[in-house]
Amino acid sequence: MSFFEKILSINRFFLKSLPYLNQYISKYKGAYLIGFLFILLKNILIIIPIPYIGKAINEIENALNHPENNQEDFFQNILLYGSIIIFAPIFSGIFQFLMRQSIVVASRKIEFDLKNEIFKHYESLPQSFYKKNKTGDLISRISEDVGQSRMYLGPGIMYTMNLFSIIILVTYQMISINPEMSLYVLIPLPILSLLIFLISKTINIRSKLVQQQLAAISSFVQDSFSGIRVIKSYHTEEKIIKDYTLETKKYKNRSISMAAINAFFFPMIILIIGFSYLFILYVGGKKYALGEINDIGTIAQFFMYTSLLIWPFTVTGWVTSVIQRAEAAQKRINDFLQTDPQIQNHNPNPSKIEGTIEFKNVSFTYDNTGIQALKGISFKINKGQTLAILGKTGSGKTTIAELITRMYDIQSGSIEIDGEDIKKINLNDLRNSIGYVPQEAYLFSDSIKNNIGFGLNQSELTDEKIVNATKKAVIHDNIIHFQDGYDTILGERGVTLSGGQKQRISIARALIKTPKIYIFDDSLSAVDTETEEKILQNLTDSTQNTTTIIITHRISSAKNADYIIVLNDGKIIENGTHNALTSKQGYYNSLFLQQLST
Protein backbone atom coordinates (compact mmCIF):
# COMPACT_ATOMS: atom_id res chain seq x y z
CA MET A 1 0.00 0.00 0.00
CA SER A 2 1.42 3.36 -1.06
CA PHE A 3 1.69 6.38 1.23
CA PHE A 4 -1.20 8.05 -0.61
CA GLU A 5 -3.42 4.96 -0.22
CA LYS A 6 -2.64 4.86 3.52
CA ILE A 7 -3.82 8.45 3.86
CA LEU A 8 -7.09 7.58 2.09
CA SER A 9 -7.61 4.52 4.31
CA ILE A 10 -7.27 6.75 7.41
CA ASN A 11 -9.88 9.01 5.86
CA ARG A 12 -12.30 6.05 5.56
CA PHE A 13 -11.68 4.97 9.16
CA PHE A 14 -12.52 8.28 10.85
CA LEU A 15 -15.16 9.67 8.48
CA LYS A 16 -18.30 8.17 6.95
CA SER A 17 -19.36 10.44 4.10
CA LEU A 18 -16.19 12.24 3.00
CA PRO A 19 -14.46 9.04 1.77
CA TYR A 20 -16.74 9.35 -1.28
CA LEU A 21 -14.38 12.13 -2.37
CA ASN A 22 -11.36 9.78 -2.31
CA GLN A 23 -11.99 8.95 -5.97
CA TYR A 24 -11.43 12.60 -6.84
CA ILE A 25 -8.41 12.94 -4.54
CA SER A 26 -6.91 9.91 -6.31
CA LYS A 27 -7.64 11.54 -9.67
CA TYR A 28 -5.58 14.59 -8.65
CA LYS A 29 -3.13 12.77 -6.41
CA GLY A 30 -0.21 14.19 -8.38
CA ALA A 31 -1.19 17.72 -7.37
CA TYR A 32 -1.70 16.67 -3.75
CA LEU A 33 1.65 14.85 -3.58
CA ILE A 34 3.46 17.82 -5.11
CA GLY A 35 1.61 20.08 -2.70
CA PHE A 36 2.77 17.91 0.21
CA LEU A 37 6.36 18.17 -1.07
CA PHE A 38 6.05 21.95 -1.15
CA ILE A 39 4.67 21.87 2.42
CA LEU A 40 7.74 19.94 3.56
CA LEU A 41 10.13 22.31 1.78
CA LYS A 42 8.28 25.34 3.17
CA ASN A 43 8.46 24.04 6.73
CA ILE A 44 12.09 22.97 6.42
CA LEU A 45 12.99 26.47 5.25
CA ILE A 46 11.02 27.95 8.17
CA ILE A 47 12.95 25.79 10.64
CA ILE A 48 16.43 26.26 9.11
CA PRO A 49 16.91 29.88 10.36
CA ILE A 50 16.02 29.06 14.00
CA PRO A 51 19.38 27.45 15.00
CA TYR A 52 21.15 30.36 13.31
CA ILE A 53 19.08 32.83 15.32
CA GLY A 54 20.28 31.00 18.42
CA LYS A 55 23.86 31.12 17.16
CA ALA A 56 23.51 34.82 16.35
CA ILE A 57 22.26 35.50 19.92
CA ASN A 58 25.19 33.54 21.31
CA GLU A 59 27.63 35.45 19.05
CA ILE A 60 26.23 38.77 20.26
CA GLU A 61 26.34 37.62 23.90
CA ASN A 62 29.92 36.43 23.43
CA ALA A 63 30.96 39.70 21.75
CA LEU A 64 29.44 41.73 24.61
CA ASN A 65 31.11 39.58 27.25
CA HIS A 66 34.45 39.34 25.42
CA PRO A 67 35.06 42.56 23.44
CA GLU A 68 38.72 41.63 23.03
CA ASN A 69 37.84 38.78 20.61
CA ASN A 70 38.33 39.09 16.85
CA GLN A 71 35.60 41.45 15.56
CA GLU A 72 36.12 40.37 11.94
CA ASP A 73 35.04 36.82 12.71
CA PHE A 74 32.02 38.21 14.58
CA PHE A 75 30.85 40.29 11.61
CA GLN A 76 31.40 37.42 9.15
CA ASN A 77 29.34 35.07 11.30
CA ILE A 78 26.56 37.63 11.80
CA LEU A 79 26.50 38.30 8.04
CA LEU A 80 26.23 34.55 7.32
CA TYR A 81 23.54 33.96 9.94
CA GLY A 82 21.66 37.07 8.86
CA SER A 83 21.66 35.96 5.20
CA ILE A 84 20.20 32.59 6.14
CA ILE A 85 17.62 34.22 8.44
CA ILE A 86 16.52 36.58 5.63
CA PHE A 87 16.61 34.38 2.53
CA ALA A 88 15.24 31.11 3.98
CA PRO A 89 11.81 32.68 4.78
CA ILE A 90 11.74 34.24 1.30
CA PHE A 91 12.13 30.85 -0.35
CA SER A 92 9.69 29.40 2.19
CA GLY A 93 7.16 31.98 1.02
CA ILE A 94 7.66 30.88 -2.59
CA PHE A 95 7.03 27.26 -1.65
CA GLN A 96 3.96 28.32 0.34
CA PHE A 97 2.59 29.96 -2.81
CA LEU A 98 3.30 26.80 -4.82
CA MET A 99 1.70 24.70 -2.06
CA ARG A 100 -1.53 26.65 -2.32
CA GLN A 101 -1.42 26.58 -6.12
CA SER A 102 -1.14 22.79 -6.04
CA ILE A 103 -3.68 21.84 -3.37
CA VAL A 104 -6.23 24.67 -3.54
CA VAL A 105 -6.33 24.58 -7.35
CA ALA A 106 -6.82 20.79 -7.19
CA SER A 107 -9.74 21.33 -4.80
CA ARG A 108 -11.30 23.79 -7.26
CA LYS A 109 -11.00 21.22 -10.05
CA ILE A 110 -12.66 18.61 -7.82
CA GLU A 111 -15.41 21.12 -7.03
CA PHE A 112 -15.98 21.50 -10.78
CA ASP A 113 -16.07 17.72 -11.28
CA LEU A 114 -18.35 17.14 -8.30
CA LYS A 115 -20.86 19.79 -9.37
CA ASN A 116 -20.97 18.27 -12.83
CA GLU A 117 -21.45 14.78 -11.39
CA ILE A 118 -24.30 15.96 -9.16
CA PHE A 119 -26.00 17.88 -11.98
CA LYS A 120 -25.66 14.92 -14.35
CA HIS A 121 -27.15 12.67 -11.68
CA TYR A 122 -30.00 15.13 -11.10
CA GLU A 123 -30.77 14.99 -14.81
CA SER A 124 -30.96 11.19 -14.73
CA LEU A 125 -33.43 11.04 -11.83
CA PRO A 126 -37.13 10.49 -12.55
CA GLN A 127 -39.89 13.06 -12.27
CA SER A 128 -41.05 11.48 -9.02
CA PHE A 129 -37.76 12.52 -7.41
CA TYR A 130 -38.48 16.18 -8.10
CA LYS A 131 -41.98 15.84 -6.71
CA LYS A 132 -40.57 14.53 -3.44
CA ASN A 133 -37.79 17.12 -3.04
CA LYS A 134 -37.85 20.90 -2.98
CA THR A 135 -36.00 22.81 -5.69
CA GLY A 136 -34.30 25.06 -3.13
CA ASP A 137 -32.91 22.01 -1.33
CA LEU A 138 -31.52 20.62 -4.59
CA ILE A 139 -29.87 23.96 -5.35
CA SER A 140 -28.43 24.14 -1.83
CA ARG A 141 -26.78 20.73 -2.17
CA ILE A 142 -25.11 21.54 -5.48
CA SER A 143 -23.93 24.97 -4.31
CA GLU A 144 -23.48 25.48 -0.53
CA ASP A 145 -22.87 21.80 0.28
CA VAL A 146 -20.33 21.36 -2.51
CA GLY A 147 -18.63 24.54 -1.28
CA GLN A 148 -18.29 23.01 2.19
CA SER A 149 -16.79 19.83 0.71
CA ARG A 150 -14.33 21.92 -1.29
CA MET A 151 -13.11 23.62 1.89
CA TYR A 152 -12.19 20.17 3.18
CA LEU A 153 -10.48 19.21 -0.08
CA GLY A 154 -8.46 22.44 -0.15
CA PRO A 155 -7.65 24.24 3.12
CA GLY A 156 -8.77 21.29 5.25
CA ILE A 157 -6.31 18.82 3.76
CA MET A 158 -3.60 21.46 3.24
CA TYR A 159 -3.54 22.67 6.86
CA THR A 160 -3.80 19.12 8.21
CA MET A 161 -0.77 18.04 6.17
CA ASN A 162 1.01 21.20 7.27
CA LEU A 163 0.23 20.44 10.94
CA PHE A 164 1.64 16.90 10.85
CA SER A 165 4.76 17.88 8.93
CA ILE A 166 5.58 20.84 11.19
CA ILE A 167 5.04 18.71 14.32
CA ILE A 168 7.41 16.03 13.05
CA LEU A 169 10.10 18.49 11.96
CA VAL A 170 9.91 20.71 15.05
CA THR A 171 9.78 17.74 17.44
CA TYR A 172 12.88 16.24 15.82
CA GLN A 173 14.76 19.54 16.12
CA MET A 174 13.77 20.08 19.75
CA ILE A 175 14.62 16.53 20.84
CA SER A 176 18.01 16.78 19.15
CA ILE A 177 18.71 19.89 21.26
CA ASN A 178 17.22 18.91 24.63
CA PRO A 179 14.81 15.97 25.07
CA GLU A 180 13.62 17.02 28.53
CA MET A 181 12.61 20.52 27.50
CA SER A 182 10.95 19.07 24.38
CA LEU A 183 8.82 16.90 26.64
CA TYR A 184 7.54 19.91 28.57
CA VAL A 185 6.68 21.72 25.35
CA LEU A 186 4.82 18.75 23.84
CA ILE A 187 2.94 17.55 26.96
CA PRO A 188 -0.02 19.96 26.51
CA LEU A 189 -0.54 19.00 22.85
CA PRO A 190 -2.16 15.54 23.37
CA ILE A 191 -4.54 17.20 25.86
CA LEU A 192 -5.43 19.67 23.14
CA SER A 193 -6.04 16.86 20.64
CA LEU A 194 -8.31 15.03 23.09
CA LEU A 195 -10.42 18.14 23.70
CA ILE A 196 -10.71 18.70 19.94
CA PHE A 197 -11.88 15.12 19.46
CA LEU A 198 -14.57 15.46 22.16
CA ILE A 199 -15.87 18.79 20.88
CA SER A 200 -15.87 17.71 17.22
CA LYS A 201 -18.94 15.53 17.87
CA THR A 202 -20.90 18.58 19.00
CA ILE A 203 -19.64 20.51 15.99
CA ASN A 204 -20.88 17.78 13.65
CA ILE A 205 -24.41 17.82 15.12
CA ARG A 206 -24.69 21.60 15.03
CA SER A 207 -23.22 21.74 11.54
CA LYS A 208 -25.93 19.40 10.23
CA LEU A 209 -28.62 21.63 11.74
CA VAL A 210 -27.09 24.72 10.13
CA GLN A 211 -26.93 23.05 6.70
CA GLN A 212 -30.51 21.80 6.96
CA GLN A 213 -31.82 25.26 7.86
CA LEU A 214 -29.81 26.85 5.04
CA ALA A 215 -31.48 24.45 2.61
CA ALA A 216 -34.89 25.33 4.10
CA ILE A 217 -34.22 29.03 3.51
CA SER A 218 -33.16 28.34 -0.09
CA SER A 219 -36.39 26.41 -0.70
CA PHE A 220 -38.47 29.18 0.87
CA VAL A 221 -36.82 31.86 -1.27
CA GLN A 222 -37.20 29.73 -4.40
CA ASP A 223 -40.93 29.24 -3.75
CA SER A 224 -41.44 32.92 -2.96
CA PHE A 225 -39.72 34.19 -6.10
CA SER A 226 -41.46 31.63 -8.32
CA GLY A 227 -44.85 32.52 -6.86
CA ILE A 228 -44.35 36.29 -6.70
CA ARG A 229 -47.42 36.91 -8.87
CA VAL A 230 -49.67 35.02 -6.45
CA ILE A 231 -48.07 36.70 -3.44
CA LYS A 232 -48.68 40.17 -4.86
CA SER A 233 -52.17 39.42 -6.14
CA TYR A 234 -53.23 38.19 -2.68
CA HIS A 235 -51.31 41.02 -0.98
CA THR A 236 -49.49 38.64 1.36
CA GLU A 237 -46.05 40.29 1.18
CA GLU A 238 -46.03 41.04 4.92
CA LYS A 239 -46.89 37.45 5.82
CA ILE A 240 -44.14 36.11 3.52
CA ILE A 241 -41.63 38.54 5.05
CA LYS A 242 -42.61 37.40 8.55
CA ASP A 243 -42.28 33.74 7.56
CA TYR A 244 -38.89 34.45 5.98
CA THR A 245 -37.78 36.27 9.15
CA LEU A 246 -38.75 33.23 11.23
CA GLU A 247 -36.69 30.94 8.97
CA THR A 248 -33.67 33.25 9.09
CA LYS A 249 -33.98 33.53 12.89
CA LYS A 250 -33.74 29.75 13.11
CA TYR A 251 -30.64 29.90 10.91
CA LYS A 252 -29.19 32.72 13.03
CA ASN A 253 -29.73 30.84 16.28
CA ARG A 254 -28.22 27.65 14.91
CA SER A 255 -25.28 29.55 13.43
CA ILE A 256 -24.68 31.36 16.74
CA SER A 257 -24.76 28.02 18.51
CA MET A 258 -22.23 26.74 15.98
CA ALA A 259 -20.09 29.87 16.38
CA ALA A 260 -20.11 29.51 20.16
CA ILE A 261 -18.54 26.07 20.06
CA ASN A 262 -16.04 27.24 17.44
CA ALA A 263 -15.18 30.31 19.51
CA PHE A 264 -14.23 28.04 22.42
CA PHE A 265 -11.47 26.44 20.36
CA PHE A 266 -9.19 29.43 19.92
CA PRO A 267 -8.89 30.58 23.56
CA MET A 268 -8.43 26.96 24.59
CA ILE A 269 -5.61 26.43 22.12
CA ILE A 270 -3.87 29.68 23.01
CA LEU A 271 -4.15 28.89 26.72
CA ILE A 272 -2.53 25.50 26.27
CA ILE A 273 0.24 26.95 24.09
CA GLY A 274 0.72 29.59 26.79
CA PHE A 275 1.40 26.82 29.30
CA SER A 276 4.06 25.52 26.93
CA TYR A 277 5.75 28.95 27.04
CA LEU A 278 5.65 28.88 30.82
CA PHE A 279 7.24 25.43 30.87
CA ILE A 280 10.01 26.63 28.54
CA LEU A 281 10.65 29.72 30.64
CA TYR A 282 10.66 27.79 33.91
CA VAL A 283 12.57 24.68 32.85
CA GLY A 284 14.92 26.49 30.47
CA GLY A 285 15.71 29.23 32.98
CA LYS A 286 16.32 26.67 35.72
CA LYS A 287 18.64 24.60 33.52
CA TYR A 288 20.52 27.69 32.38
CA ALA A 289 20.97 28.80 35.99
CA LEU A 290 22.26 25.33 36.94
CA GLY A 291 24.61 25.29 33.97
CA GLU A 292 22.88 22.39 32.26
CA ILE A 293 22.31 24.65 29.23
CA ASN A 294 25.44 26.40 28.10
CA ASP A 295 23.92 29.31 26.19
CA ILE A 296 20.79 31.45 26.23
CA GLY A 297 20.31 30.93 22.48
CA THR A 298 18.99 27.44 23.15
CA ILE A 299 16.10 28.83 25.20
CA ALA A 300 15.36 31.33 22.43
CA GLN A 301 15.25 28.45 19.92
CA PHE A 302 12.65 26.62 22.01
CA PHE A 303 10.48 29.73 22.13
CA MET A 304 10.64 29.99 18.34
CA TYR A 305 9.96 26.29 17.83
CA THR A 306 6.91 26.61 20.06
CA SER A 307 5.82 29.67 18.05
CA LEU A 308 5.90 27.54 14.92
CA LEU A 309 3.42 25.18 16.57
CA ILE A 310 1.02 27.95 17.61
CA TRP A 311 -0.55 28.62 14.18
CA PRO A 312 -0.94 24.96 13.12
CA PHE A 313 -2.57 24.09 16.46
CA THR A 314 -4.58 27.31 16.50
CA VAL A 315 -6.00 26.47 13.07
CA THR A 316 -6.74 22.91 14.23
CA GLY A 317 -10.06 24.05 15.67
CA TRP A 318 -11.00 25.75 12.42
CA VAL A 319 -9.88 22.74 10.35
CA THR A 320 -11.90 20.43 12.60
CA SER A 321 -14.94 22.65 12.03
CA VAL A 322 -14.31 22.63 8.27
CA ILE A 323 -14.04 18.83 8.20
CA GLN A 324 -17.17 18.34 10.31
CA ARG A 325 -19.17 20.80 8.20
CA ALA A 326 -17.89 19.06 5.06
CA GLU A 327 -18.84 15.67 6.52
CA ALA A 328 -22.39 16.93 7.16
CA ALA A 329 -22.58 18.53 3.69
CA GLN A 330 -21.21 15.47 1.89
CA LYS A 331 -23.72 13.26 3.68
CA ARG A 332 -26.52 15.38 2.21
CA ILE A 333 -24.88 15.17 -1.22
CA ASN A 334 -24.39 11.41 -0.94
CA ASP A 335 -28.05 10.93 -0.03
CA PHE A 336 -28.95 12.14 -3.53
CA LEU A 337 -26.00 10.61 -5.36
CA GLN A 338 -26.94 7.21 -3.93
CA THR A 339 -30.49 7.57 -5.26
CA ASP A 340 -30.68 5.22 -8.22
CA PRO A 341 -32.49 6.45 -11.33
CA GLN A 342 -35.70 4.43 -11.55
CA ILE A 343 -35.96 4.92 -15.30
CA GLN A 344 -33.11 2.99 -16.92
CA ASN A 345 -32.12 2.73 -20.56
CA HIS A 346 -32.13 -1.04 -21.07
CA ASN A 347 -31.23 -0.84 -24.77
CA PRO A 348 -27.96 0.90 -25.70
CA ASN A 349 -28.55 0.23 -29.40
CA PRO A 350 -30.43 2.70 -31.64
CA SER A 351 -34.19 2.21 -31.94
CA LYS A 352 -36.25 3.29 -34.93
CA ILE A 353 -39.60 4.77 -33.92
CA GLU A 354 -42.53 4.76 -36.35
CA GLY A 355 -45.35 5.87 -34.04
CA THR A 356 -47.77 3.03 -33.31
CA ILE A 357 -48.73 3.09 -29.60
CA GLU A 358 -50.66 0.44 -27.69
CA PHE A 359 -51.66 0.27 -24.02
CA LYS A 360 -52.57 -3.20 -22.76
CA ASN A 361 -54.43 -3.30 -19.44
CA VAL A 362 -52.16 -0.61 -17.96
CA SER A 363 -52.48 0.36 -14.29
CA PHE A 364 -50.33 2.94 -12.55
CA THR A 365 -50.02 4.32 -9.01
CA TYR A 366 -47.90 7.32 -8.02
CA ASP A 367 -45.36 6.34 -5.35
CA ASN A 368 -45.24 9.73 -3.64
CA THR A 369 -49.00 10.02 -3.12
CA GLY A 370 -50.28 6.46 -3.39
CA ILE A 371 -52.98 7.63 -5.83
CA GLN A 372 -53.90 5.10 -8.52
CA ALA A 373 -54.08 7.25 -11.64
CA LEU A 374 -54.84 4.52 -14.21
CA LYS A 375 -56.85 1.31 -13.85
CA GLY A 376 -56.71 -1.28 -16.62
CA ILE A 377 -56.34 1.13 -19.55
CA SER A 378 -56.25 -0.39 -23.04
CA PHE A 379 -56.20 1.34 -26.44
CA LYS A 380 -54.23 1.37 -29.68
CA ILE A 381 -53.32 4.22 -32.00
CA ASN A 382 -51.66 3.44 -35.33
CA LYS A 383 -48.89 5.39 -36.99
CA GLY A 384 -50.15 8.70 -38.37
CA GLN A 385 -53.45 8.65 -36.47
CA THR A 386 -54.72 11.22 -33.99
CA LEU A 387 -55.98 10.25 -30.55
CA ALA A 388 -57.91 12.70 -28.36
CA ILE A 389 -58.17 12.11 -24.61
CA LEU A 390 -60.85 13.88 -22.57
CA GLY A 391 -61.90 13.66 -18.97
CA LYS A 392 -62.33 15.54 -15.75
CA THR A 393 -59.39 16.96 -13.82
CA GLY A 394 -57.47 14.15 -12.14
CA SER A 395 -58.91 11.44 -14.37
CA GLY A 396 -55.44 10.28 -15.55
CA LYS A 397 -55.04 12.10 -18.88
CA THR A 398 -51.58 13.59 -18.19
CA THR A 399 -50.43 10.28 -16.67
CA ILE A 400 -50.87 8.62 -20.09
CA ALA A 401 -48.60 11.25 -21.65
CA GLU A 402 -45.98 10.77 -18.92
CA LEU A 403 -46.02 7.00 -19.40
CA ILE A 404 -45.55 7.30 -23.18
CA THR A 405 -42.49 9.51 -22.61
CA ARG A 406 -41.31 7.08 -19.88
CA MET A 407 -41.21 9.67 -17.14
CA TYR A 408 -42.53 6.76 -15.09
CA ASP A 409 -42.61 2.98 -15.53
CA ILE A 410 -45.91 1.14 -15.10
CA GLN A 411 -46.61 -1.37 -12.32
CA SER A 412 -48.86 -3.68 -14.34
CA GLY A 413 -49.88 -4.23 -17.94
CA SER A 414 -47.70 -3.26 -20.87
CA ILE A 415 -47.05 -0.36 -23.23
CA GLU A 416 -45.82 -1.12 -26.72
CA ILE A 417 -44.30 1.19 -29.31
CA ASP A 418 -44.41 -0.29 -32.81
CA GLY A 419 -45.17 -3.68 -31.27
CA GLU A 420 -42.18 -3.67 -28.89
CA ASP A 421 -42.23 -3.23 -25.13
CA ILE A 422 -41.45 0.39 -24.32
CA LYS A 423 -38.73 -0.63 -21.82
CA LYS A 424 -36.83 -2.42 -24.61
CA ILE A 425 -36.66 0.72 -26.75
CA ASN A 426 -33.64 3.00 -26.48
CA LEU A 427 -34.77 5.69 -24.03
CA ASN A 428 -32.95 8.53 -25.77
CA ASP A 429 -34.40 7.61 -29.17
CA LEU A 430 -37.87 7.30 -27.66
CA ARG A 431 -37.81 10.78 -26.17
CA ASN A 432 -36.12 12.31 -29.21
CA SER A 433 -38.95 10.97 -31.35
CA ILE A 434 -41.60 12.75 -29.26
CA GLY A 435 -42.61 16.40 -29.44
CA TYR A 436 -44.21 16.98 -26.05
CA VAL A 437 -46.10 20.13 -25.06
CA PRO A 438 -46.77 19.76 -21.33
CA GLN A 439 -49.80 21.03 -19.47
CA GLU A 440 -47.76 23.81 -17.88
CA ALA A 441 -45.94 25.71 -20.62
CA TYR A 442 -42.40 26.10 -19.27
CA LEU A 443 -40.05 28.59 -20.92
CA PHE A 444 -36.45 29.21 -19.96
CA SER A 445 -35.00 32.60 -19.08
CA ASP A 446 -33.44 32.94 -22.53
CA SER A 447 -34.30 34.39 -25.93
CA ILE A 448 -37.49 33.35 -27.73
CA LYS A 449 -35.32 31.95 -30.51
CA ASN A 450 -33.39 29.69 -28.15
CA ASN A 451 -36.56 28.56 -26.39
CA ILE A 452 -38.09 27.45 -29.67
CA GLY A 453 -34.93 25.69 -30.82
CA PHE A 454 -34.36 24.06 -27.43
CA GLY A 455 -34.85 20.49 -28.71
CA LEU A 456 -32.46 20.84 -31.67
CA ASN A 457 -28.71 21.03 -32.03
CA GLN A 458 -27.38 24.42 -33.06
CA SER A 459 -26.20 22.91 -36.35
CA GLU A 460 -29.81 21.90 -37.15
CA LEU A 461 -31.35 25.22 -36.16
CA THR A 462 -32.10 27.80 -38.85
CA ASP A 463 -34.13 31.02 -38.85
CA GLU A 464 -36.33 29.53 -41.57
CA LYS A 465 -37.26 26.54 -39.38
CA ILE A 466 -38.00 28.81 -36.43
CA VAL A 467 -40.24 31.14 -38.42
CA ASN A 468 -42.04 28.22 -40.05
CA ALA A 469 -42.76 26.65 -36.64
CA THR A 470 -43.99 29.90 -35.12
CA LYS A 471 -46.31 30.55 -38.07
CA LYS A 472 -47.88 27.12 -37.58
CA ALA A 473 -48.28 27.91 -33.87
CA VAL A 474 -49.80 31.30 -34.79
CA ILE A 475 -47.28 33.25 -32.68
CA HIS A 476 -45.02 34.72 -35.39
CA ASP A 477 -47.01 37.96 -35.71
CA ASN A 478 -46.79 38.55 -31.97
CA ILE A 479 -43.05 37.94 -31.85
CA ILE A 480 -42.10 40.32 -34.67
CA HIS A 481 -43.88 43.13 -32.84
CA PHE A 482 -41.68 42.68 -29.76
CA GLN A 483 -38.88 45.24 -29.53
CA ASP A 484 -36.13 42.64 -30.02
CA GLY A 485 -38.21 40.16 -32.03
CA TYR A 486 -36.94 36.60 -31.77
CA ASP A 487 -33.99 37.82 -29.66
CA THR A 488 -36.32 39.03 -26.90
CA ILE A 489 -35.12 37.67 -23.55
CA LEU A 490 -37.93 36.10 -21.56
CA GLY A 491 -38.19 36.39 -17.80
CA GLU A 492 -38.04 33.34 -15.56
CA ARG A 493 -40.62 30.75 -16.69
CA GLY A 494 -41.58 33.16 -19.48
CA VAL A 495 -43.16 35.55 -16.99
CA THR A 496 -43.09 38.43 -19.50
CA LEU A 497 -45.55 36.62 -21.81
CA SER A 498 -49.25 35.91 -21.53
CA GLY A 499 -50.49 32.37 -20.93
CA GLY A 500 -51.59 31.97 -24.56
CA GLN A 501 -48.26 33.24 -25.89
CA LYS A 502 -46.33 30.82 -23.68
CA GLN A 503 -48.47 27.91 -24.88
CA ARG A 504 -47.97 28.79 -28.54
CA ILE A 505 -44.19 29.13 -28.16
CA SER A 506 -44.22 25.69 -26.48
CA ILE A 507 -46.16 24.32 -29.44
CA ALA A 508 -43.63 25.86 -31.84
CA ARG A 509 -40.84 24.21 -29.83
CA ALA A 510 -42.49 20.81 -30.40
CA LEU A 511 -43.29 21.41 -34.08
CA ILE A 512 -39.74 22.42 -35.03
CA LYS A 513 -38.48 18.95 -34.00
CA THR A 514 -40.65 17.23 -36.65
CA PRO A 515 -40.88 14.12 -34.45
CA LYS A 516 -42.72 10.85 -35.05
CA ILE A 517 -45.13 11.42 -32.14
CA TYR A 518 -46.77 14.62 -30.94
CA ILE A 519 -48.33 14.96 -27.49
CA PHE A 520 -50.30 18.12 -26.75
CA ASP A 521 -51.37 18.13 -23.11
CA ASP A 522 -54.12 20.72 -22.74
CA SER A 523 -51.82 23.07 -24.63
CA LEU A 524 -54.55 25.33 -26.05
CA SER A 525 -56.43 26.07 -22.84
CA ALA A 526 -55.25 29.71 -22.71
CA VAL A 527 -55.89 30.38 -26.42
CA ASP A 528 -59.06 31.96 -27.80
CA THR A 529 -61.37 29.89 -30.02
CA GLU A 530 -60.41 31.60 -33.28
CA THR A 531 -56.69 31.14 -32.70
CA GLU A 532 -57.33 27.57 -31.58
CA GLU A 533 -59.04 26.77 -34.89
CA LYS A 534 -56.07 28.15 -36.85
CA ILE A 535 -53.55 26.18 -34.80
CA LEU A 536 -55.57 22.95 -35.07
CA GLN A 537 -55.81 23.32 -38.82
CA ASN A 538 -52.06 23.92 -39.06
CA LEU A 539 -51.44 20.90 -36.84
CA THR A 540 -53.66 18.76 -39.07
CA ASP A 541 -51.61 19.82 -42.11
CA SER A 542 -48.28 19.31 -40.31
CA THR A 543 -49.03 15.97 -38.66
CA GLN A 544 -50.60 13.97 -41.45
CA ASN A 545 -47.95 11.24 -41.22
CA THR A 546 -47.29 11.72 -37.52
CA THR A 547 -48.98 10.08 -34.55
CA THR A 548 -50.69 12.78 -32.51
CA ILE A 549 -52.18 12.68 -29.03
CA ILE A 550 -54.31 15.64 -27.97
CA ILE A 551 -55.24 15.86 -24.31
CA THR A 552 -57.96 18.44 -23.84
CA HIS A 553 -61.12 19.61 -22.11
CA ARG A 554 -62.49 21.12 -25.31
CA ILE A 555 -64.60 19.21 -27.82
CA SER A 556 -63.37 21.62 -30.52
CA SER A 557 -59.83 20.26 -30.06
CA ALA A 558 -60.95 16.61 -30.07
CA LYS A 559 -63.69 16.40 -32.70
CA ASN A 560 -61.40 15.80 -35.71
CA ALA A 561 -59.40 13.02 -34.04
CA ASP A 562 -59.42 9.51 -35.52
CA TYR A 563 -60.17 8.06 -32.12
CA ILE A 564 -61.36 9.55 -28.83
CA ILE A 565 -61.27 8.11 -25.34
CA VAL A 566 -62.96 9.58 -22.28
CA LEU A 567 -61.43 8.95 -18.85
CA ASN A 568 -62.99 9.05 -15.42
CA ASP A 569 -61.23 8.01 -12.22
CA GLY A 570 -58.45 6.32 -14.19
CA LYS A 571 -60.78 4.23 -16.37
CA ILE A 572 -61.98 4.51 -19.96
CA ILE A 573 -65.70 5.15 -19.75
CA GLU A 574 -66.27 5.99 -23.44
CA ASN A 575 -64.36 5.58 -26.69
CA GLY A 576 -64.96 6.01 -30.41
CA THR A 577 -65.14 8.76 -33.01
CA HIS A 578 -66.75 12.17 -32.49
CA ASN A 579 -69.90 11.19 -34.39
CA ALA A 580 -70.22 7.90 -32.54
CA LEU A 581 -69.81 9.53 -29.12
CA THR A 582 -72.25 12.37 -29.79
CA SER A 583 -74.90 9.83 -30.70
CA LYS A 584 -74.65 8.35 -27.20
CA GLN A 585 -76.15 9.89 -24.10
CA GLY A 586 -72.87 9.89 -22.21
CA TYR A 587 -70.29 12.25 -20.72
CA TYR A 588 -68.85 13.23 -24.12
CA ASN A 589 -72.24 14.17 -25.55
CA SER A 590 -73.23 16.19 -22.47
CA LEU A 591 -69.89 18.03 -22.64
CA PHE A 592 -70.45 18.63 -26.36
CA LEU A 593 -73.90 20.11 -25.78
CA GLN A 594 -72.66 22.22 -22.90
CA GLN A 595 -69.79 23.72 -24.92
CA LEU A 596 -72.00 24.12 -27.98
CA SER A 597 -74.43 26.26 -25.99
CA THR A 598 -71.63 28.53 -24.74
How confident is the model over 522-534, as pLDDT tens digits?
A: 887 777 778 888 8
- Phi, psi (degrees; rounded to nearest 5) at 364: -150, 135
- Is the CATH code 1.10.3720.10 the one for domain 11-213+260-337? no
Residues 6+ apart with CB under 8 A from 10: none
Tell me the per-residue pLDDT of 456-513, one tens digit each, with 9 for 90 and over. Answer: 887 778 888 889 988 988 889 888 988 888 888 887 767 778 888 888 888 888 888 8
pLDDT at 314: 66
Q: Which residue has the higher pLDDT, 70 or 271?
A: 271
The pLDDT of residue 13: 45
pLDDT(191) > 80: no
**CATH code of domain 357-597:** 3.40.50.300
Alpha-carbon torsion (11, 16, 18, 24), positive or negative? positive
Matching fold, domains 11-213+260-337 and 357-597 = no
Tell me if 343 sits within 8 A of 405, measured CB to CB: no
Instruction: Give the residue extent of every domain in the chain.
Output: 11-213+260-337, 357-597
What is the average pLDDT across 562-590?
A: 90
**pLDDT above 90: residue 357:** yes
More confident position, 303 or 391? 391
Per-residue confidence (pLDDT) for residue 181, from 0 to 100: 80
Residue 2 pLDDT class (50, 70, 90 cuts): low
pLDDT digits (tens, 9 = 90+) for 242-269: 989 998 999 998 888 888 877 776 677 7
From residue 421, give the alpha-carbon distance in Å to each of 347, 414, 417: 11, 7, 6
40, pLDDT greater than 90: yes
Asked if residue 69 has pLDDT above 80, the reply is no
Task: Assess contact for 244 and 224: CB atoms under 8 A.
Answer: yes
CA–CA distance, 218 with 492 (Å, rounded to integer)? 17
DSSP structure string for 380-407? EE-TT-EEEEEESTTSSHHHHHHHHTTS
pLDDT digits (tens, 9 = 90+) for 138-150: 888 888 889 989 9
pLDDT band, residue 1 (cuts 50/70/90): low
User: Alpha-carbon distance 107 to 160, whole Å?
Assistant: 14
Query: Mind listing the pLDDT tens digit for each residue in 203-213?
Result: 767 877 887 88
Tens of pLDDT, residue by residue over 91-106, are 989 999 999 999 999 9
Please state, in angstroms and rounded to a whole number, the distance separating the CA atoms of residues 338 and 346: 20
C-alpha separations of 211 from 135, 218, 416, 428 in Å: 15, 11, 45, 36
pLDDT 10s digits, 225-245: 877 877 887 778 888 899 899
The rounded Cα 305 to chain-centroid distance in angstroms is: 43
CB 308 within 8 A of CB 46: yes
Report which secondary-structure segment, H or E, holds 99: helix 71-124
What is the model's pLDDT at position 70? 64
Alpha helices, DSSP H, located in 458-560: 463-472, 476-480, 499-511, 529-542, 555-558
